[in-house]
Amino acid sequence: MTDPALASPCATSTSNTLNPPPVRLPKLVQGVGFAVFRRKSMRNWIKRHGHIFEINVPIFGQSVVVSDPALVRSVCTVSAEQLINVQPNLSNLFGPGSVFALDGSRHRDRRRHRMVRS
């Protein structure tokens, strides 16, 4: 049996398309499902759309949900130079100087600064 954390992201993803499948419910219904019934909604959406899908919820807007452990690990451990920060994102909520608004070396430096202070 293959450890999901060590599996190839391509082998564990559910779709080979450029854009993940969207949850086709009204934004408010998705928002209530995400806020109030998060576990049940996520289980249903994963069963229907796979481990990578797009939701559209109030405040956060369109967001891609990744629930495959191997893909989550690869996103969290990749170097800052390999990921780009797509706008808009949580910087709208936390401000332009937040970690969520930075790319590359600025992002890495801010993360390093936060780890040292903790």
Angle at 13 between CA 107 and CA 83, to 5 degrees: 15
Over residues 9-62, the pLDDT tens digits come to 444 444 455 789 999 999 999 999 999 999 999 999 999 999 999 999 988 788
Give the CA distances from residue 9 to residues 4, 6, 76, 116, in Å, rounded to whole numbers and listed in that order. 9, 9, 13, 31
Q: With contact defined as beta carbons under 8 Å apart, do 99 and 114 qualify? A: yes
Give the span between the Cα atoms of 62 and 21, in whole angstroms: 12
Q: What is the pTM of this model?
A: 0.57
Q: Please, which residues bridge with residue 53 across strands? A: 65
Contact 59, 27 (CB under 8 A): no
Q: What pLDDT score was predicted for residue 29?
A: 94
pLDDT value, residue 5: 44
What is the pLDDT, as a whole number, of residue 81? 65
Predicted local confidence at residue 60, as pLDDT? 79
- pLDDT for position 8: 47
